Amino acid sequence: RKEEELDSKDAIILHQFSRPTNGVPSLSPLCLKMETYLRMADLPYQNYFDGKLSPQGKMPWIEYNHKKVSGTEFIIDFLEEKLGVNLNKHLGPHERAVSRAVTRMVEEHFYWTLTYCQWVENLHETQKMVSLFGPFSDLLKWIFCHLTKGIVKREMYGHGIGRFSEEEMYTLMEKDMRTLASLLGDKKYIMGPYVSTVDATVFGHLAQAMWTLPGTRPERLIKGELINLAMYCERIRRKFWPEWQHDDDNTLYESEESSEASKTYSPLQDFSFYSRTETFDEEGNSISQTPDTDYTGHSLFDSDVDMDEYRDHEQCK
């Protein structure tokens, strides 16, 4: 197929894998991380599902003003430099160090155990979610998934984690998940009341356990004993992915207000530009209004906000 020439002038073009068929934005933790980050930073972007890898053989990758950048860490650094965004400006040096350590644990360790669960042990379920259409689509999906399985096993062996038994790998996965649950505790986000870059990373990976691995040990763990991680995933999904609905939505994680709000939604964005900003000034210029908290430090999106106290404060103002 003849390739289209993309005009990335002053536009973020996000290249990633196609949407799966189960309503989840991506089966790739890193693709979901990158798109969630763009939404958290309120940066308009355009998805491009061409399946083409970056010059470094990476996915996802972006184009901006005809500059190609791959690797989620380098993409975020690039956007911070070019566009002046920074989700970590409220973090101190110690918190930034902890945030980076958590990111490395998730992306260099937890990632591989999730990948094993998706593409080796639970391959038959993953195959149902892969989006391929047209003649012989079922055969093509089978070929694609089994090729991916072979690649994953080879890369895991080279990494070293693939040399352990299945039970040992699940033990490592459980330790990582328990570490994340302990770090989160009863906080709203990993580093406290405000969202930061590490939340895009953690959510991109935990979302796979929540919504793409039915009946597996990580799903049972996150929806059972480590329920604070499930609530964390739901919190981010409802705030930054309002159009993302799931057939198995569980009211255990939502309040009455969020349950009512979730009944109206639009399909996941594909090729159109996306931005969370929906406020305009008198001249029609867009104004970014994405507050995390009210004057008390509580989230405006949480069900435990004391609205009477908030109204009284507003009246005093």
Each residue's pLDDT tens digit, 33-66? 999 999 999 999 999 988 888 888 889 999 998 8
Residue range 12-246 in CATH 1.20.1050.130: yes
Mean pLDDT of 74-92: 95
Torsion of CA 124, 126, 131, 134, to 10 degrees: -10
> Who wins on pLDDT, 308 or 21?
21
Backbone φ/ψ region at 192: left (φ over 0), alpha (ψ -120 to 50), beta: left
Each residue's pLDDT tens digit, 151-209? 999 999 999 999 999 999 999 999 999 999 999 999 999 999 999 999 999 999 999 99
- CA dist 260 and 231 (Å) reads 17
Backbone φ/ψ region at 57: left (φ over 0), alpha (ψ -120 to 50), beta: left
From the list 114, 119, 125, the residue with the least C-alpha distance to 145 is 119
- CA dist 69 and 125 (Å) reads 32
- CA dist 204 and 125 (Å) reads 19
Classify residue 121 by its DSSP letter: I
Strands annotated E in 133-204: none
- The whole-model pTM stands at 0.78
Asked whether 259 and 251 are in contact (CB, 8 A), the reply is yes
Between CA 163 and CA 168, with CA 166 as vertex, the angle to 5 degrees is 75
pLDDT category at 246 given cuts 50, 70, 90 is low
- CA dist 3 and 188 (Å) reads 44
Asked whether 230 and 253 are in contact (CB, 8 A), the reply is yes
